[in-house]
Chains A and B, each alone.
Chain A
Amino acid sequence: KQEVTQIPAALSVPEGENLVLNCSFTDSAIYNLQWFRQDPGKGLTSLLLIQSSQREQTSGRLNASLDKSSGRSTLYIAASQPGDSATYLCAVRPNQAGTALIFGKGTTLSVSS
């Protein structure tokens, strides 16, 4: 059974720092991996999607990498800002027809000004 783990569970950094969030998954048989952002009490906003054949994706200050063989992904946030404070969720889509996303428990990020 696929399991997704995110480390650390919580992270506090001062504004301007570069930071890395980690995601690991137990079964490398995935179609893709998606990073989401969730603000308190709100829905999920998709940040980046990496297909199983890709190594990384970039959007603005965000860069996500994928090493499928080792079951790892990282989300790199450059020059963090207080507005980046949120919970970041990693989710994998197993490569079985009809299956949906399996989520990690998330990393709650707090960026202080």
Chain B
Amino acid sequence: DTEVTQTPKHLVMGMTNKKSLKCEQHMGHRAMYWYKQKAKKPPELMFVYSYEKLSINESVPSRFSPECPNSSLLNLHLHALQPEDSALYLCASSYPGLAGPKNIQYFGAGTRLSVL
């Protein structure tokens, strides 16, 4: 099973709403990632969790709040977003480590977020 599952697939929210994106994997990976991708642009890293601890925060605004409750689950809590935050949010996971055939990032299908 090489699947990363993201829910919901689509989300429309107002600027005052609070919502959460969910990502799940059961491959035993201990590194999980959130990327943001705008139309016709490459994915941009937001956060990295390694062994359930936040190891990278790419200066993301506090209206995005990540959470890693356990080794299989990664959440992204959203609050007071702006219309420019509308994008495809991608989750990925990988076996942590510096090299080797297991060091492949597997991506989910993404959540298409629209902020009105």
B98 CB contacts on chain A under 8 angstroms = 31, 95, 97
Q: Which residue of A lies closest to B107 (CB)?
A: A44
Partner-contacting stretch, out of A60-68, A69-77, A98-106? A98-106
A34 CB contacts on chain B under 8 angstroms = 104-105
A43 at the interface (CB under 8 A from B): yes
Q: Find out whether the CB atom of B107 lies under 8 angstroms from the CB atom of A32.
A: no
State how many residues of chain A have any CB contact under 8 Å with chain B.
26
B64 at the interface (CB under 8 A from A): no
Q: Which residue of B lies closest to A93 (CB)?
A: B103
List residues 90-114 of chain B with CB under 8 A from any CB of chain A.
90, 92, 98-101, 103-110, 112
> Most B CB atoms within 10 A — which of A43, A45, A103?
A43
Contact A46-B99, Cβ < 8 Å, known A41-B112, A100-B33:
no
A45 CB contacts on chain B under 8 angstroms = 107
Q: Which residue of A lies closest to B112 (CB)?
A: A41
Q: How far is the CB of A101 from chain B (nearest CB, A)?
A: 6
Q: How far is the CA of A16 from the CA of B110 in the complex (A)?
A: 31
Q: What are 25 inter-chain pairs, A to B, with CB distance below 8 A?
A: A31-B98, A31-B103, A32-B103, A41-B88, A41-B112, A42-B110, A43-B6, A43-B107, A43-B108, A44-B92, A44-B107, A45-B107, A46-B105, A49-B101, A51-B99, A51-B100, A91-B42, A95-B98, A99-B56, A100-B45, A100-B48, A100-B56, A101-B45, A104-B42, A105-B42
Known: A31-B98, A43-B6; 19 extra A-B contacts, CB below 8 A, are A31-B103, A32-B99, A41-B88, A41-B112, A43-B110, A44-B92, A44-B107, A45-B107, A46-B105, A46-B107, A51-B99, A52-B99, A98-B48, A98-B55, A100-B33, A100-B45, A101-B43, A103-B42, A105-B42
**B residues with CB within 8 A of A:** 4, 6, 33, 41-45, 48, 50, 55-56, 88, 90, 92, 98-101, 103-110, 112
Q: Which 3 A-B pairs have the closest CB atoms?
A: A103-B42, A44-B107, A43-B109
